[in-house]
């Protein structure tokens, strides 16, 4: 299992270095009591504890978030800055500043660095999204993967090569890549990534991978790559969960199934929505959006203690499973550092106040954080 021996003293030192590099005056006053174990330290012998970071943290503007990152996490994933439309907005145009800053941040903090994501149907620039010629689309994909993965070869530890390529029934999503290139694009994407970054782990990442039908689709995808002699090192199970579901047994069954193919399993994009979802939506399709209403935003001024306890209970149940499966699970990544950052404030309804992470809007530890610190002692 991965081990990340992050000491509290080292955390404080790293924060000070980070502050100097970012040109900010950051005091090393992380919420945890000085000398107390951090989240990363508690789980160091089990799996990496990751967080998604955004442009404000990469640029050094979110000093509170950076303190938490240094004190309690051992892995980072970029929330948006490495997605295709951000990093290559035109066929011959690359914007490296934030992506370079992200990798440099991970290196300064000695993190396990994830690249997210090389091929995805969403957040694509128009020149890719509207391509109908197979040779042209193949050339775009080859150039993008070789250039981006190649630039960070030896610096990024794991790439989400392919993101959300399946429908809920396990069939292939009708993305531009699948419609124009067929399932061969999956084989080509992983082969190109392996060539461009031979020492980097390569992952498939998707949501609702606890669902039995979608699970079968992932198993078919992994087998496709393995049968073609193409390397895949892990499956990322996005954990966009809620207080009532999915059932722990379903999550466990999927972890076991994916591990059975010989790949590692990561819990990625973990958060627990606390708000009502009357449309009974599944997953995390970022193209869905709905008009706000007071009934759908029940906690604008703070979360009741009873709900905070439910969040803590749910996180404890999930981490108890991850600990039992730590031979397969190599990383657990929260999709954000604190509640102010979470994408769930604006999805599926904009302007709501959600509470899905371990630190509140002021970067203070929540009941769920305290529960996870002591879970292994119980």
What does the alpha-carbon distance between residue 93 and residue 90 come to, in Å, rounded to a whole number?
Answer: 5
State yes or no: is 164 an active-site residue: yes
Q: Which two structure tokens, joined as six digits, stand for 279?
A: 């449309």
Query: Reduced to 3 states, what is the DSSP secondary structure of residue 181?
Result: helix
Residue 320: count other Cβ atoms within 10 Å of its Cβ. 15
If 0-12 CB within 10 Å is exposed, 13-18 middle and 19+ buried, where does residue 128 land? buried
Taking the C-alpha atoms of residue 177 and residue 138, their distance in angstroms, rounded to an integer, is 9
Prior bond of 255 cis (ω within 30°): no
Q: Which of 269, 327, 362, 367 is catalytic?
A: 269
Residue labelled with tokens 């991978």: 209
Closest-CA residue to 262 (of 233, 296, 230): 233
Inter-helix orientation angle 212-227/184-196, to 10°: 60
Q: Where are the beta strands (DSSP E) in the chain?
A: 48-53, 75-78, 112-120, 158-163, 201-207, 234-242, 264-273, 329-334
DSSP codes of every residue in 44-73? TTT-EEEEEE-HHHHTT--HHHHHHHHHH-
- Three-state DSSP class for residue 316: helix
Catalytic option among 86, 97, 142, 164: 164
What is d(CA 30, CA 70) in angstroms, rounded to the nearest whole number? 9
Instruction: Indicate which residues carry an active-site annotation.
Output: 164, 269
């Amino acid at each position: 299992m991965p081990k990340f021996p992050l000491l509290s003293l080292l955390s404080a030192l790293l924060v000070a270095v980070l502050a100097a590099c970012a040109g900010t005056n950051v005091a090393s006053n992380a919420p945890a009591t000085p000398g107390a174990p951090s989240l990363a330290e508690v789980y160091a012998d089990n799996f990496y504890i990751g967080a998604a970071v955004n442009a404000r943290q990469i640029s050094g503007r979110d000093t509170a978030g950076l303190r938490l990152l240094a004190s309690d996490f051992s892995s980072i994933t970029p929330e948006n800055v490495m997605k295709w439309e951000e990093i290559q907005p035109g066929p011959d145009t690359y914007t490296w500043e934030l992506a370079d800053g992200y990798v440099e941040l991970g290196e300064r903090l000695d993190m396990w660095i994830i690249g997210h994501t090389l091929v995805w149907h969403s957040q694509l620039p128009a020149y890719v999204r509207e391509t109908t010629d197979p040779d042209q689309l193949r050339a775009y994909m080859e150039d993008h993967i070789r250039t981006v993965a190649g630039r960070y070869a030896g610096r990024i530890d794991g790439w989400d090569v392919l993101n959300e390529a399946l429908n809920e029934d396990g069939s292939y999503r009708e993305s531009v890549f699948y419609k124009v290139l067929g399932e061969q694009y999956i084989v080509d994407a992983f082969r190109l990534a392996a060539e461009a970054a031979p020492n980097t782990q390569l992952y498939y990442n998707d949501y609702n991978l606890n669902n039995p039908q979608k699970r079968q689709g992932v198993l078919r995808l992994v087998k496709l790559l393995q049968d073609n002699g193409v390397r895949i090192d892990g499956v990322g199970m996005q954990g966009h969960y809620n207080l009532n579901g999915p059932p722990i047994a379903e999550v466990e069954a999927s972890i076991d199934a994916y591990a059975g193919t010989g790949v590692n399993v990561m819990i990625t994009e973990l958060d627990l929505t606390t708000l009502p979802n009357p449309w009974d939506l599944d997953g995390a399709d970022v193209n869905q959006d709905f008009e706000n209403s007071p009934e759908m935003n029940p906690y604008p001024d703070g979360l009741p203690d009873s709900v905070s306890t439910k969040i803590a209970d749910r996180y404890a149940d999930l981490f108890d499973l991850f600990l039992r499966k730590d031979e397969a699970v190599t990383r657990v990544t929260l999709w954000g550092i604190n509640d102010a950052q979470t994408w769930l404030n604006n999805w599926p309804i904009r302007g709501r106040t959600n509470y899905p992470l371990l630190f509140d809007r002021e970067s203070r530890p929540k009941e769920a954080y305290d529960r996870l610190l002591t879970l292994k002692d119980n």
